[in-house]
Structure 1
Amino acid sequence: MTHEPSNRREENALWSIFGYLVSGLLFWGGIGWAADHFFGTTYLVLIGLLVGMGGALYLVWLRFGRE
């Protein structure tokens, strides 16, 4: 039973990382999609997705990579 807190902490970390990645893609991809509709372009959603993934990876690195 001594491994249970460690496993729980790792599971919580994995869910946090997953949440960062999904929310970054949805938020910035959504902004890119809205900007595409507003400006009549087709490439801003891709830029939004790339910014979202880059930002999410940076946040994961800040939170978990420097420990």
Structure 2
Amino acid sequence: MTTPPTPGTPEPSAGSTGPTEPTTEPTIEPTEPTEAERDEELRAFNIREQDSAWRAVAYLLTGPLIYGGLGALADHWLGTGWLVGAGIVGGMALSLYLIWFRYGTQ
């Protein structure tokens, strides 16, 4: 007659001879990047930075142009003369805020 296993202990399988040791995975040592890999990382970094700089220039140009254009249209329809200047200044302010928000908080 066999005794039932106590709660919390694993039941032995039919072919096992006893408890097994836990297996550990081999550790992989980090290696130093080669000169070619460092050059490639630097090239990718420079491309990202150039892309960010050109986007900032595009924001600085398009903000005043778009809002100044909208101000010119509103001036034409409303018969005023001050909305172009307000649109240019507002567009520049929004452009600077967008650049600060996207690139200044990193």
TM-score normalised per structure 2:
0.60
Q: Percent identity?
A: 40
Shift of 1:25: 1.2
Answer with 1 or 2: which has the greater Rg: 2
Letter in 1 for 2:103: F
Quick one: distance in 2 between partners of 1:42 and 1:14? Answer: 34
Structure 1 stretches of at least 4 aligned residues deviating more than 3 Å after TM superposition: none
Q: Is there any run of 5+ residues in structure 1 with no aligned partner, and where?
A: none
Show CA shifts across 1:29-61 (max 9, x none). Answer: 111000111111211100000000000000001
- Larger relative helix fraction: 1
Aligned match of 2:72: 33
Residue 26 of structure 1 and its aligned partner are, at CA, apart by: 1.5
After TM superposition, the structure 1 = structure 2 runs for residues 22-61 of structure 1, keeping only pairs within 5 Å, are 22-61=61-100
CA deviation map 1:6-45 (0-9, x unaligned): 1111100011101111111111011100011111121110
Q: Name the structure, 1 or 2, with higher relative contact order (CA <8 Å, separation 6+).
A: 1
- TM-score normalised over the length of structure 1: 0.91
Match of 1:19 among 47, 51, 58: 58
